[in-house]
Amino acid sequence: MNEQLIDNLVDQVVAKINEERSFLVEASGRHVHLSQEHINALFGEGYQLTINNYLSQPGQYASKERVTLLGPKGTLHNVVILGPARAASQVEISGTDALALGIKVPVKESGDIEGTPGIVLVNGHKTVTLEKGLIIAKRHVHVSTNDAKKMNVTQGEIVKVRINSEQRSLIFDDVVIRVSDKFATAMHIDYDEANACSFKKGIRGHIVK
């Protein structure tokens, strides 16, 4: 075999390995997770969310129910509630949304809501004032336990992820790896991040070390 042939072969193998280690990237719009207590307060005692469509993460769904977020400077209407109900309510918005609401919102991992600002949720005449739980979600990759081995990553690790797009390819730093056997492997970014890389459905990410 000549050198050129070997080089081509190596390139092909590397490309295949990279493809196998790549993952789907999904853009998450602003959304709300609610405790059953807050579902009751906004929709009535014992109310069950209506499933609209299932999401990539097993068991997670977008409901048909919507709420309004009320901030000191602005409101965001028609914000989707994701189910099922959680132990604690949490509202995930983008940096642009935070400016529209007029609230200084920290970048946090999902569930890490101690010390975060609250927000008022409105459904018709019913309102709930959350004392905390308003966050800009830290960009993250959900990784199944199986894929974590293949991808050589561990729970809580911070990685860089390259996104190839037509005009705005970029490398996101500060991406947290979250590993669970309950996860399907996929990266989640918000709409600000999606716009920054000219996100299109089906786009894939690659870890760069």
Q: How far is the CB of 207 from Zn ion (least distance, A)?
A: 16
Instruction: Verify binding: residue 108, Zn ion, rule CB under 5 A.
Output: no
* Contact between 156 and 109 (Cβ < 8 Å): no
- Residues between 5 and 24 with contacts to Zn ion, criterion CB under 5 A: none
Instruction: Verify binding: residue 30, Zn ion, rule CB under 5 A.
Output: no
Name the residue number minimizing CB distance to Zn ion.
188
Token representation of residue 48: 């069950």
Q: How far is the CB of 109 from Zn ion (least distance, A)?
A: 10
Q: How far is the CB of 114 from Zn ion (least distance, A)?
A: 20
Q: With the CA atoms of 95, 100, 105 and 107 taken in that order, what torsion angle do they form, in degrees rounded to the nearest 10? A: -10
Query: In angstroms, rounded to a whole number, what is the distance separating the alpha carbons of residues 128 and 136?
Result: 20
* Contact between 172 and 193 (Cβ < 8 Å): yes
How many residues sit close enough to Zn ion to count as binding (CB under 5 A)? Answer: 1
Q: Which is nearer to Zn ion, 28 or 116 (CB)?
A: 28
| Closest to 67 (Cα-Cα) out of 96, 87, 38 | 38
Q: How far is the CB of 142 from Zn ion (least distance, A)?
A: 5
- Residues between 158 and 197 with contacts to Zn ion, criterion CB under 5 A: 188
Q: Which is nearer to Zn ion, 33 or 188 (CB)?
A: 188
| Closest to 25 (Cα-Cα) out of 146, 181, 167, 196 | 196
- Residues between 78 and 107 with contacts to Zn ion, criterion CB under 5 A: none
The position carrying tokens 């919507």 is: 66
* Amino acid, single-letter form, for residue 205: G
Q: How far is the CB of 152 from Zn ion (least distance, A)?
A: 21
Query: In angstroms, rounded to a whole number, what is the distance separating the alpha carbons of residues 62 and 45?
Result: 21
Q: How far is the CB of 141 from Zn ion (least distance, A)?
A: 9
Q: Which is nearer to Zn ion, 43 or 183 (CB)?
A: 183
* Amino acid, single-letter form, for residue 89: S
- Residues making contact with Zn ion (CB under 5 A): 188
